[in-house]
């Protein structure tokens, strides 16, 4: 069994299912909103911004587009970079109103990814998060946590180009939405509890020599 799959099994046995994406309503637009707002900030801040949007009844593409820029910016202020992110949300809202049905129906993940990457403010991690979590498309998300775990526990170069590291994970795993979803969530759990930016904790020590 390859080390990437083996690490997944170890983490799943330890943590169990994570039920990701973390979201209050489970609605697709909330997931998309979270994927955009989480850029360069903590999830705690994103939750505050999403809470503001929900309280204001602005959790749909249509309502976002109908909201004045200054009002939207104030609601998402807790997520930081609020002027940029309000523009990103509106760009994505317009895109989704036009392309959501096509995204539901298409199985061409890489063509869909290319479309998303053309939307203002959408990079690889954001696009892949939207595809995996909002549309249940089989694509693996790479973030800072994934790079940290890859380097410390899988003997991979954490500075590899996004697409190369992503391909490394996807080649080692079955093309399964549930596994890709769960694996990323388990990596987040490990990094929050043990595999910290500055040092590894007890859980990391237990799995350090598994391969």
| 1 pLDDT more than 60 | no
Mean pLDDT, the chain, integer: 94
Three-state SS string across 28-43, please? HHHHHHHHHHCCCCCH
Mean predicted confidence (pLDDT) in 132-155: 96
22-63 per-position pLDDT tens digit = 888 879 999 999 999 999 999 999 999 999 999 999 999 999
Find where tokens 């009844």 sit: 57
Last residue of a domain, one of 135, 160, 185: 135
| 121 and 46 fall within a common domain | yes
Shared domain check, 170 and 106: no
Check pLDDT > 90 for residue 68. Answer: yes
- Looking at residue 128, what is its pLDDT? 98
Same domain flag for 11 and 45: no
Q: Judge whether residue 209 has pLDDT over 90.
A: no
206, pLDDT greater than 90: no
CA 131 to chain centre: 9
- Answer for the pair 45, 82: CB distance below 8 angstroms, yes or no: no
Domain of 179? 3-18+141-207
In a domain, 23, yes or no: no
> Is 72 in contact with 61 (CB distance < 8 Å)?
no
In a domain, 163, yes or no: yes
Rounded to an integer, the average pLDDT of 125-153 is 96
Half-sphere exposure of 178 (CA within 13 A, CB side): 2
CATH number of residue 167's parent domain: 1.10.1670
Q: What is the mean pLDDT of residues 92-118?
A: 97
**Mean predicted confidence (pLDDT) in 81-94:** 98
Question: Does residue 183 share a domain with residue 95?
Answer: no
Let me know whether 76 and 145 are in one domain: no
Report pLDDT digits (tens) over 152-188. 999 999 999 999 999 999 999 999 999 999 999 999 9
Which two tokens mark 90? 């509106």
Q: What is the pTM of this model?
A: 0.94
CATH of the domain at 117: 1.10.340.30
Q: What is the domain count for the chain?
A: 2
Check pLDDT > 50 for residue 211.
no
Three-class SS state of 200: strand
Which of the four pLDDT bands, split at 50, 70 and 90, describes residue 72?
A: very high
User: pLDDT at position 210, please?
Assistant: 53
- 93 and 65 fall within a common domain: yes
Looking at the fold, whether 11 and 39 belong to one and the same domain comes out as: no
């Amino acid at each position: 069994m390859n080390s990437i799959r083996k690490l997944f099994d170890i983490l799943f046995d330890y943590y169990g299912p994570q039920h990701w994406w973390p979201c209050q309503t489970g609605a697709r637009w909330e997931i998309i909103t979270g994927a955009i707002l989480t850029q360069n900030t903590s999830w705690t801040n994103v939750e505050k911004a999403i809470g503001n949007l929900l309280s204001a009844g602005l959790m749909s593409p249509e309502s976002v587009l109908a909201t004045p820029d200054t009002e939207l910016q104030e609601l998402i202020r807790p997520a930081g970079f609020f002027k940029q992110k309000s523009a990103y949300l509106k760009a994505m809202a317009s895109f989704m109103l036009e392309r959501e049905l096509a995204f539901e129906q298409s199985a061409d993940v890489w063509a869909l990814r290319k479309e998303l990457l053309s939307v203002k403010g959408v990079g690889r991690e954001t696009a892949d998060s939207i595809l995996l979590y909002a549309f249940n498309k089989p694509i693996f998300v790479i973030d800072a946590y994934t790079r940290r775990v890859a380097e410390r526990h899988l003997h991979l170069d954490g500075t590899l180009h996004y697409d190369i590291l992503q391909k490394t994970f996807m080649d080692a795993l079955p093309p399964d939405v549930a596994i890709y979803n769960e694996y990323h969530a388990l990596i987040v759990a490990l990094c929050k509890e043990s595999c910290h930016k500055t040092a590894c904790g007890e859980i990391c020590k237990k799995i350090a020599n598994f391969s």
